[in-house]
Copies of this chain bind each other. A is one copy, B any other.
Amino acid sequence: MLRADAQRNLDRLKAAALEVFRERGLGSPLEEIAKRAGVSVGTLYNRFGSREALIDAVIPDLMAANVERIRLDANAATDPWERVERYFNGLLEMQIADPAVSDAVARAYEGSPDVSAVCAAALDEGARLLDAVRTGDPSFTRDDLGALLVANSALIATGGADAARRIVAVLLAGLRPA
């Protein structure tokens, strides 16, 4: 059981981390987070030990909520192909709207286990939706969706949100069954 003040600091740290990560991405200086939480860096390290742990503490929920929302929206469509489109576009817009999520997706291979888990689930759902439509050749796999998210992340980071939208649109056009 945490002491009352410690619990309060921990909550503040999480809140600050979420704020800062969403503003400047997952690479933000941890000192900035500590500062915004009104706490010293030492405390941050006492509580979390590493940036990864801090990310794991605040990002998975954020991502899971987003992914779930997108999943529901996509599945609300009756046409299987429209589901795919909505899902892909939804993920893209999620990345554009939130640098923290975009970063998390792009680095899912390393790092925080919980973040990786949410990513994996998101890819699984994408694969499931794709399975429901007859895709052309070359067929698009689960891993390809992962690659697409990484690519989007890079484009968004360099200010190319629109470029990412175009790429996804063309890609979807290519995947669309005849």
Copies in the assembly, this chain: 2
Q: Is A169 an interface residue (CB 8 A)?
A: yes
Q: Is A106 an interface residue (CB 8 A)?
A: yes
Find out whether the CB atom of A136 lies under 8 angstroms from the CB atom of B173: yes
Contacts of A141 in B (CB 8 A): 166
Contacts of A174 in B (CB 8 A): 170-175
- Most B C-beta atoms less than 10 A away, residue of A155, A170, A172, A173: A170
**Interface of A: prevailing SS:** helix
Q: Is A60 an interface residue (CB 8 A)?
A: no
- Name A's B-contacting residues (CB within 8 A): 106, 109, 136-138, 140-141, 143-144, 146-148, 150-155, 158, 160, 163-164, 166-167, 169-175
